[in-house]
Amino acid sequence: AQSVTQPDIHITVSEGASLELRCNYSYGATPYLFWYVQSPGQGLQLLLKYFSGDTLVQGIKGFEAEFKRSQSSFNLRKPSVHWSDAAEYFCAVGAPEYGNKLVFGAGTILRVKS
Amino acid sequence: NAGVTQTPKFRVLKTGQSMTLLCAQDMNHEYMYWYRQDPGMGLRLIHYSVGEGTTAKGEVPDGYNVSRLKKQNFLLGLESAAPSQTSVYFCASSYGWGADQPQHFGDGTRLSIL
């Protein structure tokens, strides 16, 4: 079965600084990869997704993620963080043989210092 | 366009009480899901539905029942609430079947069992 690891429970960055959130997955082939963001009191919003092709994918709100097959990673990045980016971020993995079932990581809470 | 709407947003129950959480989507999505979110564990799939009149078990189905009598609605029931069911519950829906189909989430129901 596939699994997802987000090693960092909390990350604090200063406003304007760059950000990288880590995600590692365990799966035999290339899965479908997603990043979701959850603002306080809100549901999950899709930031970006990777299925195939260019390993650097662009998402909404200035986020991007890079798929690295050799490292089984799909790290989320943003060049300059804004205070409104403070939220919880979830990496998720899907695989064709599991149908629509997504496996989520435990999440990373991002705090932004002004 | 409301998307996915969950009611209620908050609820406090006593152990042994029953209740039903309602999820409604207005996107004509065929597939619907119920997740629970617990600290440090990400989202875990409780039950899902691949169409009106159908339901299936997810990763953590025990203690819950579901019904999909209408395409737009997916109900999650707790017959005899237990403190271990204190959690935030999210409903989601997707248009198609497949791991590449993004899921659209509601804002969640925060449920406390005393």
- Residues A100, B94: C-beta atoms closer than 8 Å: yes
A108 has a pLDDT exceeding 80: yes
- Residues B40, A49: C-beta atoms closer than 8 Å: no
List residues in chain A touching B: CB distance below 8 A: 4, 9, 31-32, 34, 36, 41-46, 49, 51, 90, 94-96, 98-102, 104-107
Give the residues of chain B that fall short of pLDDT 50: none
**pLDDT tens-place string over residues A66-92:** 999 999 999 999 999 999 999 999 999
A8 has a pLDDT exceeding 90: yes
Of the candidates B67, B47, B69, B44, the one whose C-alpha atom is nearest the C-alpha of residue B56 is: B47
Quote the tokens at residue B95: 């248009």
| Rounded to 5°, angle at Cα B66 from B97 and A44 | 55
Chain B: give the shortest CA distance to residue A39, in Å: 10
Give dist(CA B40, CA B43) in Å, integer.
9
Q: B42 touching A, CB under 8 A?
A: yes
Residue B19 carries which side chain, given as an amino acid letter?
M
Number of helices (H), then strands (E), in chain A = 0, 12
Chain B: give the shortest CA distance to residue A74, in Å: 16
| Rounded to 5°, angle at Cα B75 from B69 and B80 | 125
If contacts are CB pairs under 8 Å, which of residues 56-85 in chain B contact chain A? Answer: 58-59
* CB-defined contacts A:B, below 8 A: 67
Q: B10 touching A, CB under 8 A?
A: no
If one counts every other C-beta atom within 10 angstroms of the C-beta of residue B15, the result is 11
pLDDT given for residue A95 in this prediction: 81
**pLDDT tens-place string over residues A17-36:** 999 999 999 887 778 999 99
**pLDDT tens-place string over residues A51-62:** 888 899 999 999
CB B83 within 8 A of CB B114: yes
Give dist(CA A46, CA A33) in Å, integer.
11
pLDDT given for residue B1 in this prediction: 59
Task: Pick the residue of B36, B105, B110 with the most A CBs within 10 A to test the interface with A by mutation.
Answer: B105
Q: Length of chain A in residues, anyone?
A: 114
At residue A42 the predicted structure's pLDDT band, cuts being 50, 70 and 90, is confident
Phi, psi of A31 (to 5 degrees): -85, 180
Give dist(CA B17, CA B10) in Å, integer.
15
pLDDT given for residue A39 in this prediction: 92
Quote the tokens at residue B23: 């999820």
